[in-house]
Amino acid sequence: MRNNASIFIIASLALTLLSFFLDRKKTLMGLEKGWKMFQNIALPFVNILILVSLVLYVVPPSLIVRYLGPDSGWAGQMIAAVVGSITLIPGFISYPIAAVLIAAGASYAIVATFMTTLMMVGVVTLPLEIRYFGAKVAILRNALNFIAAIVIGTCVGLML
């Protein structure tokens, strides 16, 4: 994994240097725009991560397993979809949570729904999305991804 990141960084630097030699003015202008975009999004994104971390600190894993356990059925899948939609968690944190849920006896359908909504639906990030993409696009994206997550979870449940 670390090797892939190194390759990506080296390729990015090489392509940036190539761009710089081909058209210095456009490259500097692009780097400046990128830096400004990063500055504009960094603070809201860090705030969102802090908020999610606080929520996860307060909610014990045993409570999550209780409501997403093997006997929860469709109600558990809907709870998984709603909770996953509200809490935005990066992959490196959500995969261990999925492993804990499966080890505790949660069904694969519930875990698939939960993981899919964690990655694709973001109620917490909705204000930020609306700011950058507009309300119609942000709400439509989240609604369609919510439906897709339930379909994916159901398909996983049918296959396993």
pLDDT in tens, 103-135: 777 889 999 999 999 888 988 889 989 999 999
pTM of the model: 0.62
Backbone torsions φ then ψ of 23, nearest 5 degrees: -155, 90
Residue 21 tokens read as: 């030699």
Backbone torsions φ then ψ of 83, nearest 5 degrees: -65, -45
Integer angstrom CA distances of residue 22 from 13, 17, 65: 14, 9, 56
pLDDT in tens, 55-106: 667 777 677 667 777 778 888 899 989 988 987 666 766 787 788 778 777 8
pLDDT in tens, 24-62: 999 999 999 999 988 887 776 677 667 666 766 777 767
